[in-house]
Amino acid sequence: MNSVIPFLPLMLAALAALFLRGWARNIIMLAAPIIGGLNLLGLEHGVFWSMEFMGYALEPVKVDKLSLMFGYLFHIAALIAVIYALHVKDTTQHVAGLSYAASAVGAVFAGDLLTLFVFWELLALTSVFLIWARRTDRAYSSGVRYLIFQVLSGVLLLAGLLIFAQVNNSLLFTDIGLQHEGIAQVGAWLIFLAFGIKSAFPFVHNWLTDAYPEATPSGTIFLASFTTKVAVYAFARAYAGEEILVWIGVTMACFPIFYAVIENDLRRVLAYSLINQIGFMIVGIGIGTSLALNGAVAHAFNDVIFKGLLMMTMGAVLYKTGKINGSELGGLYKSMPKTTILCIVGAASISAFPLFSGFVSKSMIMSAAIKEGYDYVWLLLLFAAAGVFHHAGIKIPYFAFFAHDSGIRTTEAPKNMLIAMTLAAVACVVLGSFPAQTVYALLPWEHKYQPYDVTHVLTQLQLLFFSAAAFVWLNLYKLYPPELPSTNLDADWLYRKLAPAFIKRIGCSVYGVYASIEKSITASIKQIIQNSYDAEEGKPKGYFARLWPTETMVVWVAGLLAAFLVLYYI
């Protein structure tokens, strides 16, 4: 059929947005994700475009069910984010947002590792402008840290793919796995780590919690949708069924919720819960059965939309009040009732209430875990699921919109923001209520699953209601930690405080040694000069200093002639 390369509509729109202004730009920006999404409908499975590069077969565009599903998702996410950003009069954000979405689409349709690498780096380069567009010092430096991590991930990917190209004589992007012989093992681990950085593995997760809350309100919506989901896609394609992912994933699902409970910046709370949700997906990919993989992919699909929705509501709060810290907000339900309701829909979706989107995908991963005998993993995921409800489901709406009245009076967010949030909220309910007709119909692997039975609904409701009961109890007895203006130490302390202090100390001592050596050398040179000059007589000491320059010359010529004479006869 008459389809074009998938990322092209978005990329061209980004280019057009660079030159167009006003309503013309708005129309192009709205049309691009719609046209791009419709374009995908016409794509046939298989290699869409292939070429040869330095003797390697490249497949820059390859279509299958897995890439198509992410393709649809990214176009929906781009459309919602574009609508949300329409009121912003900032070319940087518009161009960066669209080209970032285009890079994500390009990455999921990449059939070879080299194309994947190109889009992998483009993701980093385009998205960092969404952080810098905040135009504060904090945003600038956290953008730089973000870029360092993203580029590091790209460099590791490049090193890994070069090893693979050498060993297998092929660059095609298929299942990689971690079991290899010799040097290929190193390559496999390098690529694994590259994907790991982008999906915010523990200890390399701080680029996410650092940068996302520093971006502009609409920039964060783009950010939360693409980078990590591309990494999840890449893991699903290349490392499905690697058991180590189960353990990494369960760590990612559990540790951020502790941070989320004590974090004050509500967008940073959401960033921590983003890591927690990716943890669920990584566990699903690690289990590797078709049910688990379907669950992981479906959860990625749903997460983009409900996390986007929650980020959008917090973005609206930030946009209208200029504040985002839990300690400064509260009582906003009076002036922003629509945003409040939309936020509660997002909260219900992320905490997997029945009839909301999180329920239908999270329960797939949980069922797969228990079916494959991962008992403790299942228990921990259950804990993480309760914890999600606790921080993202209750804490976010409670501290922003209810709690004590902060006295802030404002108005609803602009219409385009409300429309974007409503679209996402409707999608959450539709995906959750009619999974078989929507997200399940797109799933890449063959597996029948029915989330709605009495057991699932009842047990999930018990879990959620009693998690809420814990919140009520802790709050009534003043045991809940109050929102305090604070910074909580995390792994980024290592490179933001420890390493700089350490390097500074080493640098200081190295410089100290250098300076003292330099000083003693200058002193000794001065000493030599002092010794060769007679200050009392006002002239230099030594034999040549007493002669005229011509006399000095004659002495040298005589010396040379003598030397020549001696050498001639030897």
Partner 1 sequence: MSDHHDSDGWFDKPENVRKMLRVFYVLCALLVIADFVVNRYVYHSWENVPAFYAIYGFVGCSILVFVATWMRSFLMRGEDYYEVDSYDEVDSRDE
Q: Report residue 304 CA to chain centroid gap.
A: 13
- Of 430, 470, 494, 552, the one binding partner 1 (CB under 8 A) is 470
| Tokens describing residue 286 | 């690690």
Q: Give yes or no for residue 488 binding partner 1 (CB under 8 A).
A: yes
**Which of the stretches 174-182, 434-442, 456-464, 546-554 binds partner 1 when contact is defined by CB under 8 A?**
456-464
Using CB under 8 A, pick the residue from 187, 387, 397, 435 that binds partner 1.
387
The widest CA-to-CA distance across the chain, in whole angstroms, is 114
Among 99, 115, 273, 460, binds partner 1 (CB under 8 A): 460
SS3 482: coil
How far is Cα 275 from Cα 202, in angstroms, rounded to an integer? Answer: 9
Measured CA angle at 191 (ends 188, 197), to 5 deg = 140
Among residues 166 and 475, whose Cβ is nearest to partner 1? 475
541 scored as a contact of partner 1 (CB under 8 A): no
Task: Kindly report the number of other CB atoms within 10 A of residue 244's CB atom.
Answer: 12
Q: Give the 3-state DSSP-derived string for 392-445, with helices as H, strands as E and coil as C.
A: HHHHHHHHHHCCCCCCCCCCCCCHHHHHHHHHHHHHHHHHHHCCCCCHHHHCCC
Q: Which tokens hold the place of 481? A: 């930690």
Report 118-157 residues binding partner 1 (CB under 8 A): 138
Distance, CA of 510 to CA of 373 (rounded, Å): 56
**Is residue 402 involved in binding partner 1 (CB under 8 A)?**
yes
- Which residues, 6+ apart, have CB-to-CB distance to 135 below 8 Å? none
Question: Is residue 5 a contact point for partner 1 (CB under 8 A)?
Answer: no
Q: Does 22 bind partner 1 (CB under 8 A)?
A: no
Quick check: 440 and 449 in contact, CB under 8 A? yes
Least CB distance from residue 389 to partner 1, whole Å?
8
Q: Cα(95)–Cα(219) distance, rounded to whole angstroms?
A: 11
Q: With binding defined as CB under 8 A, does residue 509 bind partner 1?
A: no
Binding of residue 454 to partner 1 (CB under 8 A): yes
* Contact indicator for 39, 6 with CB cutoff of 8 Å: yes
The one among 19, 53, 203, 465 contacting partner 1 by CB under 8 A: 465
C-alpha–C-alpha distance, residues 378 and 27, integer Å:
47
C-alpha span between 118 and 107 (Å, rounded): 8
Question: How far is 159 from 187, CA to CA, in rounded Å?
Answer: 7
Backbone angles phi, psi at 309, to 5 degrees: -60, -45
Closer to partner 1 by CB, 323 or 496: give it: 496
The Cβ of residue 112 has, within 10 Å, a number of other Cβ atoms equal to 25
Contact range with partner 1 by CB under 8 A, out of 121-129, 179-187, 236-244, 487-495 = 487-495
Total binding residues toward partner 1, as defined by CB under 8 A: 60
Query: In the set 21, 148, 375, 565, which binds partner 1 (CB under 8 A)?
Result: 375
- Which residue from 458, 515, 517, 563 is in contact with partner 1, where contact means CB under 8 A? 458
Residue 251 contacts residue 381 (beta carbons within 8 Å): no
Site string for partner 1, 235-274 (x = CB under 8 A): ----------------------xxx-xx------------
Based on CB atoms, which residue is closest to partner 1, 375 or 551? 375
Q: How far is the CB of 131 from partner 1 (least distance, A)?
A: 16
Kindly tell me the burial class for residue 103, based on how many C-beta atoms sit within 10 Å of its own C-beta (0-12, 13-18, 19 or more): buried
Could you say which of 334, 415, 519, 546 contacts partner 1 (CB under 8 A)?
334
The reply to whether 355 sits near partner 1 by the rule CB under 8 A is no
Q: What's the closest the beta carbon of residue 284 comes to partner 1, in angstroms?
A: 17
Is residue 555 a contact point for partner 1 (CB under 8 A)?
no
| 12 lies in the binding site for partner 1 (CB under 8 A) | no
Closest distance of CB 182 from partner 1, Å: 42
Could you list the residues that contact partner 1 (CB under 8 A)? 138, 257-259, 261-262, 331, 333-335, 337, 367, 370-371, 375, 378-379, 382-383, 386-387, 390, 402, 405, 409, 453-455, 458-474, 479-481, 484-490, 496-497, 500-501, 504
